[in-house]
Amino acid sequence: MSDAAHWDAIYEGGVEGRSWHQTSATASLSLMDAAGIPAVASVIDIGGAASRLVDDLLARGHRDLTVLDISDTGLALSRSRLGARAATVEWVVADLLTWQPTRMYAVWHDRAVGHFFTTDAERTAYASVLTAAVAPGGHAIIGGFAPDGPTHCSGLEVKRAGLAEFADLVGPAFDLVAEEREAHTTPSGATQSFQWTLWRRRG
């Protein structure tokens, strides 16, 4: 089963019961505030699918928003939820690792996506796309399972990451600005340990 078919099948059942679901992207917004991201900043949510981050950012006045995911079924959940507001967002169906950005963004956001890239080749490709997509002086906000977090998500193995592994994932063009841990409570009441990182691309 291709990655797209895997994720489409998952999102066919909706997202509210999925372990990563959250009603508001609190940790992401907190790091955006730490970075001083203004509402005029362009933001791309990598692997955003049905995430409510786009709702939160629209409510904050952002008008240059892109959501990319390998699963159009997942993206459709957000488009349906947003209704008419979806027309103001750019929706991209693509495999992140082979995607070729046609513009640069002020902010790259990735919650629980990069940790699925477990091989050296995938992680090198991630750094390459990240560097091509983020403007000099721009920011990357990336969160995934911490070293004491789960080993799997959605039946797939993940690479748990502390700061050293995140530095390896983003590559040499980025400097660490801030980091924090989060205990995410899943819809079933379990706790998952996340490591969050905020990076700035060198100008």
Contacting residues toward ligand SAM, per CB under 6 A: 3, 7, 20, 47-49, 51, 69-71, 74, 95-97, 111-113, 116, 153
What whole-number distance in Å separates Cα of residue 141 and Cα of residue 123? 16
Residue 158 Cβ vs ligand SAM, minimum distance, rounded to whole Å: 9
Residue 138 Cβ vs ligand SAM, minimum distance, rounded to whole Å: 19
The sign one gets for the Cα dihedral 131, 132, 137, 141 is negative
Compare residues 37 and 129 and give the one whose CB is closer to ligand SAM: 129
> In the structure encoding, which two tokens stand for residue 178, read together?
């801030």
Compare residues 117 and 174 and give the one whose CB is closer to ligand SAM: 117
The sign one gets for the Cα dihedral 143, 117, 174, 63 is negative
What residues form DSSP beta bridges with 174? Answer: 201
Return the exposure string of 143-166: e unless at least 16 CB atoms fall within 10 Å of the residue's CB, then b. Answer: bbbbeebbeebeeeebbbbeeebb
Residue 64 Cβ vs ligand SAM, minimum distance, rounded to whole Å: 19
Compare residues 157 and 175 and give the one whose CB is closer to ligand SAM: 157
Residue 163 Cβ vs ligand SAM, minimum distance, rounded to whole Å: 20
Compare residues 47 and 138 and give the one whose CB is closer to ligand SAM: 47
